[in-house]
Structure 1
Amino acid sequence: MIRQTARDFAQKEIAPIAAEFDESGEFPYQTVKKMGEMGFMGIEVPEEYGGAGLDTLAYVLALEEICKVDAAHGTIMSVNNSLFCYGILKFGTEAQKQKYLRAVASGAAIGAYSLTEPMSGSDAGNMRSRAVRDGDTYILNGRKSWVTSAPVADYIVVFTMTEPEKKHRGITAFIIETDKPGFSRGKKEPKLGIRASATSEIVFEDYRVPVENRLGEEGEGFKIAMSVLDAGRIGIASQALGIAEAAYESSVAYAREREAFGQKIGEFQGISFKLADMKTRIEASRLLVYNAALAKERAKQTGERFTLEASMAKLFASETAMFVTHAAVQIHGGMGYSKELPIERYFRDAKITEIYEGTSEIQRLVIARLETGLR
């Protein structure tokens, strides 16, 4: 039911405007608001906190369908669900859940997640932003970069150094409100893909955040960030799967219709073998994504981590999205390179799935370390 609901919404509300917002780079406020009203912004959040109260499998099915139509809308949905809501649901106090979780899960507000800085991407322990305790508040200073939804976010989960000498063990998480003094937004990033998803730097200049807005304890920020990224990677894997499916379905239809040298191009082995490889990788990705979703569900009962399953799903599905969209452009030939069709958008959107929320290189590192026990 959730899949069909998401599919119908995406076809009716998002498909007609996807190309327009990709071209302009504007944030799609109206459709995002409708997604919130439909319950897509807090799928796994319990109803008592304004969410839909469904499970992880429902989440990945819905996200997959949204991303088949437009990955940018899927990015906004993924950040709200995985990076913002999941972290507060798991690590937040009751007061934080009531105030921040309810607002974002119900679609009344937009959330964001900020870990990366200009000089620290995969190396989070090298961040230069600082939070200094001053009585019942912390004073934040520094610049964060590549913050998805930052230009429009009401609340952001921010990770910053409270004890720099401890490196990653000195990172603390905070929930910040973007309408308070000392907060500003930097330049908006002109991106290759997912262009309707707004991304920018954020800047803190003597920004005061109350102690009650600290997420978890001092020094627990890195642990929280990595736990949240486990959930986020399942979302990105679902996004990649949706993009790949869209590109594949378009390619099959084109191979059946387009003729060259007196026959359908799908009859040529060069094309048919591409389609075979695309389909096989998509179905393998789907199983990895669903396996990770089920592992996350088990973790709700057992408390165990699902890092391995999430990393494998994210790695394989993101590289599948790039493989499939690259092949789709080739199958469509000149039309695949033209903005008259969405194929080139799928290709541009796919690339980010290999980069954000942990690059493919980081995923391989995570998987290898978990399997060997070596560092």
Structure 2
Amino acid sequence: MDFSPPPYGLFSPDIDLMVNLPGLGKLREKHPAYIARAEKAQAAARKFAIKHILPRSLETDKKCSQDPAYFDWDLWHAANREKFTIACLPEKMGGLGWSALANAAAVEEFSSACMGSTANILFNTFGVLGAMVECKTGIVLSMIKKMLQAQQAGAPLFYSWAITEPGAGTDMEDARGMEAMRPSCHAQKVQGGYSLSGVKCFITNGSLAHYVIVNMPVDPEHPLESMATFHVPTDAPGFSVGRVERKCGQKASQTAELFFDRVFVPDADVWAQPGKGFDHTREILSITRGFVGLCGMGIARGALERCIRYSADKQTPQGRLIDQDWVRFALADMIKDLHMVRAAAYNFAMALDAFHVWKLFDSPAVKGAACLPDKLLLSDSLQALAKSAPASEAGSIFKKKIVTGKVLDEFVRHGSALKVAGTDLAMKTSSRVLDIVGLEGMSREFGMEKSFRDAKVTQIYEGSNQANLLDLFHEEIGRLL
């Protein structure tokens, strides 16, 4: 089949942020730099997706089917050279300074090309998000410095977030579920810190991670009241990686078992004290659930655009497949759904910039710090000052005044809604396009069956969609009953 795809979506080199979201025009009048940065992020991400991700996605999927531990390091290094791996860090410190809106534009482009590769490039933000919850200045600056040094050296630095364990998945993300769960992992208080024991499973980046953010209860009989969050280097004695999972979809992204055999964690690496671990988890989820919904929307878009590409070239006895009315109605219906979820996704991203942790970067304190000389920002002297008790506590207090409990409840509500809408759209669209293209179009070479395989797990991670619906009900209606 000779492909001559219409210049649409990922197959078009032209950015279309303002075309798809014309309401941003009013915002651009007041904040032109904000919109310009998002357009720049979309342009860079689309160019990278076309040049690097799309041409190798099917071959990488095949290699990972043969060996789940295969990792496309060439792609990762290409992304690292573009600073996509540190895009969220301030420009003054060496990152790209992307807002949540700019991140959203990039995530949509990357995930429409290959969701597994997107996870390898961008899911590393778990580390920064985990540190920003408590916002201890010493921890945050130390993490930023490590990330920048690794990027400049072309060396990988991976973080993973270990919640799920064999006997508890979504339970670990829901207060009502956690009250009834019986965790298999636990943290025991010892002199100078904690001893961690147990197994975590289905952990993204687990086999690659240099550091793991892990949630474990101190009292397994009362997990909600005793859950804590720990920062664990993977070279710690007693830590090991088990099986790298064979998966149906998102094969480019490694998922692994993690074993903790009396792993010692000093008190300084306890990021959330016992009893505060669930709150720490919820704050990360208040951001990541929405972005998983955005990833689902990107998968749906990728499946749809591949279908348009195929049907525009496929000849049938009645002419081109795309010229048949039933196909046009189906494509238009999917485009309609895509536009609706996209509007919700970008609304969520802009809300993160306005009210959540990204708001910190617009605060006078952070802007004032950005005026410091580059060398001083990440100097040992400033690091030492940031680690002092007064400075560390000041950072935490300052952040909690901006990101209040009420703000978190709102973002859990909106993030859960978006997560369900985006990932259900991924499954619905990737299934529907296969109905249009038939058996021939399901062939691996056209990429649509891969979109279908990649979509399913998005309905499960960051809390199953059913758990997210319960969260949405509780935050929207349940509190009023």
The TM-score normalised by the length of structure 1 is 0.94
Confirm or deny: 8 A CA contact 1:78 1:235 kept in the other structure. Answer: no
* Structure 1 counterpart of 2:169, from 106, 121, 128: 121
Distance 2:261 2:143 in 1: 23
Deviations 1:295-353 (A, max 9, x none): 22222344212112211111111111111111112222123321121111111101111
Paired with 1:49 and 1:140, the residues of 2 have a C-alpha distance of 34
User: What's 1:271 paired with?
Assistant: 327
Partner of 2:350: 294
Match of 2:140 in 1: 97
2:109 to 65, 68, 72: 65
**1:267 and 1:11, CA in 2 relative to 1: closer, same or farther beyond 3 A?**
closer
Contact map agreement 1:104 1:110 (CA 8 A) in 2: no
The Cα of 1:75 is off from its aligned counterpart by 1.7
Alignment pair present for 1:358 and 2:414 = no
The residue type paired with residue 116 of structure 1 is T
For the residue of structure 1 that corresponds to 2:327, the secondary structure is helix
Q: 2:79: which partner in 1?
A: 35
Match of 1:45 in 2: 89
Q: Supply the distance in 1 between the matched residues of 2:269 and 2:414 (Cα, whole angstroms).
A: 31
The one-letter code matched in structure 1 to 2:246 is P
Tell me the CA shift for residue 356 of structure 1: 0.7
CA–CA distance in structure 2, aligned partners of residues 189 and 104 of structure 1: 27
Task: Compare 288-297 and 200-209 and name the one that shifted more.
Answer: 288-297
Structure 2 match to 1:18: 57
Encode CA deviations 1:85-109: one digit per residue, 9 max, x unaligned: 2121232422322333443466440
Matches of residues 224-235 of structure 1 in structure 2 within 5 Å? 224-235=280-291
Whole-Å separation in 2 of the counterparts to 1:133 and 1:203: 19
How many residue pairs align between the two structures?
Answer: 374
Change (3 A) 1:133 1:49: farther
Contact 1:338 1:344 in 2 (8 A): yes
CA shift at 1:163, angstroms? 2.8
Structure 1 residues 348, 2: closer, same or farther in 2, change over 3 A?
same
Looking at structure 2, the residues matched to 327 and 104 of structure 1 have their Cα atoms a distance apart, in angstroms, of: 41
The Cα of 1:266 is off from its aligned counterpart by 2.3
Pick from 295, 310, 317 the counterpart of residue 239 of structure 1.
295
- 1:144 aligned partner, one-letter code: K
In terms of mean alpha carbon deviation, does 47-56 or 206-215 score higher?
Answer: 47-56
1:172 deviates by 0.4
For 2:79 and 2:146, how far apart are their aligned partners in 1? Answer: 14
Letter in 2 for 1:180: A
Superposed CA deviations along residues 232-288 of structure 1, whole A, max 9, x for unmatched, are: 112212211211111111222322222323222223332222112210111111011
Equivalent of 1:154 in 200, 207, 210: 210
| Alpha carbons 2:239, 2:258 under 8 Å: kept | yes
User: Cα distance 1:347–1:270, how it changes in 2: closer, same or farther (>3 A)?
Assistant: same
**Are 1:328 and 2:433 counterparts?**
yes
CA separation of 1:158/1:349 partners in 2, compared to 1, >3 Å: closer, same or farther? same
Bigger mean CA offset, 364-373 vs 267-276: 267-276
TM-score relative to the length of structure 2: 0.74
Instruction: Report the structure number with the largest CA radius of gyration.
Output: 2
In the alignment, the residues of structure 1 paired with residue 138 and residue 78 of structure 2 have an alpha-carbon distance, to the nearest angstrom, of 26
2:132 is equivalent to residue 84 of structure 1: no
- Runs of 5+ in structure 1 lacking a partner? none
Which letter maps to 2:160?
A
Q: In the alignment, which of 175, 180, 201 is matched to residue 257 of structure 2?
A: 201
Measured at CA, do residues 45 and 162 of structure 1 come closer, stay the same or move farther in structure 2, by a change above 3 Å?
A: farther
Distance 2:436 2:59 in 1: 24
User: 8 Å contact 1:88–1:101 — kept in the other structure?
Assistant: no
- Paired residue for 2:47? 8
Contact 2:133 2:280 in 1 (8 A): no
Name 1:214's counterpart in structure 2: 270
Give 3-state SS (helix, strand or coil) of 2:161's partner: strand
Structure with more helix by fraction: 2
| Of 65, 87, 99, the match for 1:55 | 99
Evaluate the alpha carbon distance shift between residue 73 and residue 171 of structure 1 in structure 2; reply closer, same or farther with a 3 A threshold. same
**CA distance 1:283–1:121, shift in 2 (3 Å):** same
Which amino acid in the other structure matches residue 103 of structure 1?
K
* Aligned pairs for 1:160-171 within 5 A: 160-171=216-227
- Per mean C-alpha deviation after superposition, the further-off stretch among 262-271 and 134-143 is 262-271
* Higher mean C-alpha displacement, 133-142 vs 88-97: 88-97
Q: Which residue of 1 aligns with 2:12?
A: none
Runs of 4+ in 1 over 6 A off after TM superposition: none
Aligned Cα RMSD in Å?
1.8
CA distance in 1, matches of 2:93, 2:195: 29
92 and 28 in structure 1: CA distance in 2 versus 1, 3 angstrom threshold: farther
Whether the 8 Å CA contact 1:111–1:154 is kept in 2: the answer is yes
1:66 Cα shift?
A: 1.0
Contact 1:131-1:138 within 8 A present in 2 as well:
yes
8 Å contact kept, 1:138–1:210: yes
